[in-house]
Amino acid sequence: MSKLDDLINELCPDGVEYVKIKDRFQRLKGTPITATKMKEIDNFDGEIKIFAGGKTVINAKEKDIPKANITRVPAVLVQSRGIIGVVYYDKPFTFKNEMWAYTAIALRK
């Protein structure tokens, strides 16, 4: 038995409910932006973080981000290329379309 199985048995003796992510969280839309454009608009004083694949993260001024879809609620970003991982972020941000981001804010009742 794995450590995960042990934890489930200990903490969830009645089993674990299977729920689709889309039923609990809203998927957010990213910003179509190239690596070249990110280099052009990178600004230490920028108020918006832009997340890209791997460990690439820049700051930029909102006015400099073309076709920006800025997320202003806490969300979890899922990196799907390069280094696979997740990031929780609760300040204004956007991300390249090659990533996914989810929030529960819009679905709270």
Mean pLDDT of 24-34: 91
The pTM of this model reads: 0.78
pLDDT band at 18 (very low <50, low <70, confident <90, very high): confident
Alpha-carbon distances of 38 from 1, 21, 80, 100, rounded to whole Å: 46, 30, 18, 18
**Backbone dihedral angles phi then psi of residue 15, each to the nearest 5 degrees:** 95, 180
List the chain domain ranges.
26-107
- Which one has a higher pLDDT value, 99 or 1? 99
pLDDT 10s digits, 30-87: 999 999 999 999 999 999 999 987 778 999 999 999 888 999 999 999 877 666 778 8
